[in-house]
Chains A and B, each alone.
Chain A
Amino acid sequence: MAEKVRSSGLRHRIAVAWAQDLNTVGSLNRAVSEGFAEAVMIGNREKIIKTCRETGADPGRFTIIEAGDEKKAASLAVDMTASGETDIVMKGLVGTDKFLKAVMDKEHGLLPAKAVMSYVCAVEIPAYHKLLFITDTAVIPFPDLAQKVAMAEYAIAMARRFGIEKPSVALIGASEKVSSHFPNTLDYSVMCKMAERGQISSCVMDGPVDLFLACDPESVRIKGIDTPLAGDADILLFPSLEACNPFYKGLMLFGKGELAGMICGTSRPVVLMSRSESELSKYYCVALACLMAMPKDMN
């Protein structure tokens, strides 16, 4: 992905809200020096310059704009992106709630009316033979049917950007059985039929399935379940944030994973990640946002 973005020849302008933490500056420094990003750092000028020095970045590489507090920094970053001055907005050290409030602002924000906002991560893990796209690690606690459909669409759109024409979408549950005791399995059944009837973008969808059926061909063989996923899923859609979030953190912590994630549903790419994310993951998030900001015909 990073290679694709680097070689595209495009340079994306990123507005960063309260850009004064080491990982954010470090990841942007790399993106800027690799030539695919320009960064507008919004926040306390002195602190930004100080942070740049600490990471060994030349502050002259960035445009720095003074903002009094983190709330103002967030709304300025969003405003610039909404007006087209910048292409991408990124969260720095500002609190997630303040940042998202600016993103979701009805007048000045980046969320079209009635759009579902969700989060998709691309995860690289040594134990799986390809990237896995997972959703939703961060935004919707208990998605309803319409939100799950939107989540699937965002993940499919992202997978397409990675060159996967017809991604396999696994709707993750605790087992493959449909049961009214597990309401998510009901939504999943409905989604499969929607995919079959062309109401969801082209994909191979099945669910409920457990993680083994989704990602392990051997389990599919042993269980004898007839699933088109065949243990080769590209996308895992989880029933709740509390299922998906520990899954990705487990992969980071115990599975030597790296991730790139972003907010979906907004009119422009929004980079938002946990403050504790590594510099490399943040760099990947920036690269992902640039990939998603590229014109579709460049893919």
Chain B
Amino acid sequence: MALKHLSELKDLLVDKPVRRMVLAAAQDHNSLVSTLKAAGDGFIEPILVGDKEAIQAIASELAMDLTGIRIIHEPDTEMSVEIAVKMVRSNQADILMKGKVGTSSLLKAVLNKEWGLRSGSLLSHFAYFEVPAYHKLIAVTDVAMNIAPSLHDKISIVNNSVACLNKLGIEMPKVAVLGAVEMVSENMQATLDAALLSKMNQRDQIKHCIIDGPLAFDNAISLESANHKGIRSDVAGDTDLLLMPDIEVGNVLYKSLVFFAHSEVAAVILGATAPIVLTSRSDSDQAKYYSILLAAATARTE
């Protein structure tokens, strides 16, 4: 069943065990607000790792109640990240979220060979958009992590995203591999990769989804536009996942959906043993809140 609104993520979490989310370097105004809201709504059980005094100061400033919330005091940022990651690894938490720490420090800890959260897959960014002009939620990957993914990387990125969509109840997500045109051209590597991904999907080398590409953006999201071009495709016009050729295209699309198309978005990092919520300061509180819900809806279920 396709989702239409990000608020439907809440429905997916009803009657499910509450996920434990550890916030690394929790003395962070931005992430604390949405964490406490999601906790207050009963969707997650937060664990705050960081400078306890600073955390309490922010809470009182925001007039938020920390009663009953577990806080692990660790003033050193790097140590607090390590503690948070190890908690996920030892199954004391189901989701990792970034607080007042640089993205690169957090990812370095996630990728630590001894105690990190490596799953063998590539880490990739997954953004889930509610676009008013589209008939269902649409996922976009990768707009933030992988700069110029190779074919091999794209396979991992698709697999990560498809597994995530499957967990959200979309059994056979339709994946559009984006190009500038729907034709294959030797001069545009993205179109060649798209053709390869399609064939690998046909041969069951990439499972649990339907892949078509290259598709230009308009063909991917509008059946009328695909028909106009005479494209026969099971994906065109009904795309669940847009695979970006590279980060520049992805990032611009992401931002234009937010700023021009007034979309709401939720995002997680996939490919580790647990979902990672890694929002930036410029994200709205709503986006952060939905990102936490998205992580909760796709976290492991043992």
Instruction: Give me the interface of A with B, judged by CB distance under 8 Å.
Output: 145-146, 176-178, 180, 186, 188-190, 192-194, 196-199, 225-226
Contact = CB atoms under 8 A, between A and B. Distances in A.
Given A146-B186, A199-B184, A193 B203 contact: no
Given A146-B186, A176-B203, A198-B230, A193 B194 contact: yes
Interface in B173-205: 182-184, 186, 192, 194-196, 198-200, 202-203, 205
B57 interface: no
Contact of B195 (A176, A192, A198): A192
B199 A189 contact: yes
B203 A197 contact: no
Given A180-B151, A199-B183, A194 B195 contact: yes
B113 interface: no
A78 to B, nearest CB: 32
A190 B192 contact: yes
A160 B140 CA distance: 44
23 contacts: A146-B186, A177-B203, A178-B196, A178-B200, A178-B203, A178-B205, A180-B152, A186-B192, A188-B199, A189-B195, A189-B198, A189-B199, A190-B184, A190-B195, A190-B196, A192-B195, A192-B198, A193-B198, A193-B214, A196-B232, A197-B183, A199-B184, A226-B202
Given A177-B203, A178-B203, A194 B184 contact: yes
B231 interface: yes
A138 B41 CA distance: 73
A197 B231 contact: yes
Contacts of B214: 193
Contacts of B200: 178, 189
Given A145-B186, A193-B194, A178 B230 contact: no
A198 B200 CA distance: 20
B172 to A, nearest CB: 15
Given A145-B186, A192-B199, 20 more contacts: A178-B196, A178-B199, A178-B203, A178-B205, A180-B151, A180-B152, A189-B195, A189-B199, A189-B200, A190-B196, A192-B195, A192-B198, A193-B214, A194-B183, A194-B184, A194-B195, A197-B182, A197-B231, A198-B230, A199-B184
A158 B198 CA distance: 29
